[in-house]
Structure 1
Amino acid sequence: MSLCDLINESNIVISTAENLSVDAALDITCSTLIEQGKVETRYLEAIKAKHKEIGAFYVLAPRIAMPHARPEEGVNEASLQVTVFKHGVDLESEDNGDVFFSVTLAAKDADNHIQTIVALSELFQNEQDIEAIIASESKREIQAILNKY
């Protein structure tokens, strides 16, 4: 499953909010998935609970996060949400600093999302595309970049 199978413009959020708390930022990173019924509210709560327990496990690299929880914690349909934080957000990652680009992963099971993880890994390693996504002013621009993966 490619990224374009799981992301469309309705699953992309460009946030201009400033000084967000961790909980407020995580609320945004799951907002369209909850609105569309792809995940239940308890999925978001599971991410927040895990954050409180072990910290920002989902901040993968400088500027990049991939919030997620276990499939049984409220995933109704495999999906992704892309969130760009124009002003960055401090998710309390000691090693990676502020996050500007987040992909919330909602997988139905451990096996079926392997292709998605591979595509995301390729994207996360492409510095030019990450920069272009963060700089994008429209969902359409972001979608065009994601369609390459």
Structure 2
Amino acid sequence: MLSEQLKGNIHFLKSVNSWEEAITESAAPLLDDGSITPEYVEDMIENVHKNGPYIVIVPGIAMPHAKNEGGVVKTGISLLKLEEAVPFPENKKVNLLFTLAAEDTSGHLDLISDLSSLLIEDEVREKLEQANSEEEILDLLQTVE
């Protein structure tokens, strides 16, 4: 499930200079393990330039993703947690970025659905905000999956 896919794909940074850098950093584990290509990162950034900050799904949390136009090699998810929130367009401040990469539309929807069902819970969001290690985040996800 989600916790299994996130294992090894969670990282923490103090801050970034822009939302574009936040998306790039959040996608780094997927790029490093060959799940996505650099073009997919560009597609996610272009998505926000074109469509606005719709990827900010709840206050503080963004879900960068894009249509797979050859940039996704295999389905995956990564998480970047920022100590200092970064402003997205329309001044939507974000400090958690769950980057989604899906080979096909159904995989994409499954990931979004799993993640959304977790993030609508205030308690889960608060615990994610407070987590300081990959282990804490994975333990939290396993208890709610």
Query: Which residue is 1:72 aligned to?
Result: 69
Q: Does 1:114 align with 2:109?
A: yes
Query: Which residue is 2:80 aligned to?
Result: 83
* Shift in alpha-carbon separation, 1:143–1:93, aligned structure 2, 3 A: farther
Deviation at 1:7, TM superposition (A): 1.3
Query: Which residue is 2:23 aligned to?
Result: 26
What is the distance in 2 between the residues matched to 1:46 and 1:76? 14
Deviation at 1:43, TM superposition (A): 0.3
Q: Does 1:3 align with 2:11?
A: no
Deviation at 1:73, TM superposition (A): 4.2
Structure 2's unaligned 5+ residue stretches are none
Q: Give the TM-score normalised by structure 2.
A: 0.91
- Of 36, 42, 47, the residue aligned with 2:44 is 47
Deviation at 1:69, TM superposition (A): 0.6
- Of 50, 58, 61, the residue aligned with 1:61 is 58
Q: Give the TM-score normalised by structure 1.
A: 0.88
Percent pairwise identity: 26
Deviation at 1:86, TM superposition (A): 1.4
- Of 128, 138, 143, the residue aligned with 1:133 is 128
The secondary structure found in structure 1 opposite 2:27 is helix
Greater helix content = 2
Query: Which residue is 1:16 aligned to?
Result: 14
Report how many aligned residue pairs link the two structures.
144
The secondary structure found in structure 2 opposite 1:112 is helix
